[in-house]
Amino acid sequence: MLTMKFGGTSVGDVPRLQEVVSIVKQFLPEQPVVVASAMGGLTNVLLETAHNAVQRKYELVQNAVTSMRDRHLHIAMTMIKDEARRSKLIQEQIASFEELSQLYHGVSMLRELSPRSLDAIASFGELLSCRQIAAVLEENGIASQFVDARTIIRTDNNFGEANIDFVFSNAAINQAVTPLVQKKIVPVVTGFIASTEEDITTTIGRSGSDYTGSVVGAAVNSREIWIWTDVDGVMTADPRYVKGAKVLSEISYREAAEMSYFGAKVIHPKTMVPAIGKKIPIRIKNTFNPTHPGTLISAVPSADRSSAKTVTSIDNLSIIAIEGNGMIGVPGVSARIFSTLARAQVNVMMISQASSEHNVCFIVPHKDSQAGVKALREEFSIDIAKKIIDDVTVKEPVSIVAVVGEGMIGSKGIAGKTFSAVAKAEVNIIAIAQGSSELNISFVVEQADARNAVQAVHDAFHLS
Ligand code: ADP
Ligand code: ASP
Ligand code: MG
């Protein structure tokens, strides 16, 4: 079997869907299992419209529903000629949009939009997309079956970023998918969505269809997991922002996980987890250039051992600092800081402590910074009053820039080269952290400087 996940751009319009048909047809002898995203941009529109609904912006909601519906109906009208098949698909689409309108109506009546409601609303993107992909494949003579992942992937109820129950899901995926493949039917499984034990719809995190692809691919013991997207593979940097970024032919699971954690949008960071367990290679491929070999992600460290491989960045972050002479040598300060943040459900992305112990700083998503500062000021109110701690300060927006590569492990001078390149670009570094794995060096700069810093480091390592 060969599991193929198609991203939003790859299923976003008629020409792309025609390409999907031709790719699936070409790989039919390999027994493909398809996993797909919502049509490009649709999840954003679904969620924005939910926020408009809660604010009772009825006209915006109505217009959005109409335009999303027309976008899907257009696919049915232009790509499905068989009358019975077309009218079945159109009926399903109309019913879905009626149900979606009702959800928006409920949200605006209640003026309440919980993470649980957002997941229910977001799920329409993948459901609509995969129903139409299955119909389009059938139309082109490829036996195919829509599979609603909510019936085979079980999660907890951490809406928006639910955690998968692998014991249940692996068995259920196998039970549903493998018999279809044996009957030469191509399953088309919805990415991104799942459900709880009580059948409540959940999602597994934005851009999570990649993760669904590898969850399904690993469960059925695929030969490889292919992630079809709109670039030739994993590149030395984000090609939208960095001049001279080039495609890497091979990277390791660890490199892929690290770079995606630090902002490389091309693959979701969790994608590597199920594949590593079964040593299934992942390949990133381009639907706009399907003959390009793409990037192979596997356990084998790549032949190309050049020290640093990629430079990435994440925006919209805040750096929170706690400072005070009274902190020096006092045990338990860090423990208090991080347990306070955990209680406030603030996700800490990076930590840096001066060895003098006079300052601890850490990076959090911008959306969490206020809650974090408030919780810390409460926790340390007595220490602040006694001047043991000066204050809790926050600086934003900042970005993390990360340099990643297995070849960096044990090789000298990487940090020096990185920081002198940044200095030469006249970018100020606010904080530095090195993962103890030595697989990456990451540092914090003002967001306005992030692109320059990435380009400078990219140039310094001759990645282009
Ligand atoms: P899909 O809809 O197929 O999931 P995404 O938009 O999520 O596609 O991911 C592909 C995009 O990731 C590319 O168009 C590219 O702009 C961006 N990207 C960011 N960093 C990198 C990188 N290091 N290598 C390749 N692409 C990257
Ligand atoms: N459609 C979902 C999103 O936009 C999942 C994905 O595309 O991977 O986040
Ligand atoms: Mg993606």
| CATH classification of the domain holding 426 | 3.30.2130.10
pLDDT of residue 434: 65
Closest by CA position to 208, among listed 265, 246, 256: 265
Judge if the beta carbon of residue 242 lies within 6 A of ligand 1: no
pLDDT of residue 438: 74
User: Across the chain, which distance is largest between two alpha carbons, in Å?
Assistant: 78
Q: Is residue 301 very low, low, confident or very high in pLDDT (cuts 50, 70, 90)?
A: low
Q: Is residue 118 very low, low, confident or very high in pLDDT (cuts 50, 70, 90)?
A: very high
Residues of the domain holding 17: 2-230
pTM above 0.85, yes or no: yes
The average pLDDT across 37-43 equals: 98
Atom of ligand 2 nearest to the CA of 7: 7
Residue 303 clears pLDDT 60, i.e. is over it: no
Domain boundary among 230, 247, 272: 230
Residue 305 clears pLDDT 70, i.e. is over it: no
pLDDT of residue 437: 67
pLDDT of residue 407: 84
Residue 126 clears pLDDT 60, i.e. is over it: yes
Residue 183 clears pLDDT 70, i.e. is over it: yes
193 neighbors 123 (Cβ within 8 angstroms): yes
Considering the chain, what is the average pLDDT of its residues?
94
| CATH classification of the domain holding 167 | 3.40.1160.10
Judge if the beta carbon of residue 237 lies within 6 A of ligand 1: yes
- Of the listed ligands, the closest to the CA of 45 is 2
pLDDT of residue 300: 79
Within-domain flag for 249: no
The average pLDDT across 180-196 equals: 98
Within-domain flag for 288: no
The average pLDDT across 363-376 equals: 95
Q: Is residue 411 very low, low, confident or very high in pLDDT (cuts 50, 70, 90)?
A: confident
341 neighbors 394 (Cβ within 8 angstroms): no
Judge if the beta carbon of residue 260 lies within 6 A of ligand 1: no
pLDDT of residue 436: 60
Within-domain flag for 209: yes
The average pLDDT across 355-378 equals: 89
169 neighbors 219 (Cβ within 8 angstroms): yes
- Of the listed ligands, the closest to the CA of 46 is 2
Same structural domain, 226 and 314: no
Nearest CA owner, ligand 1 atom 5: 266
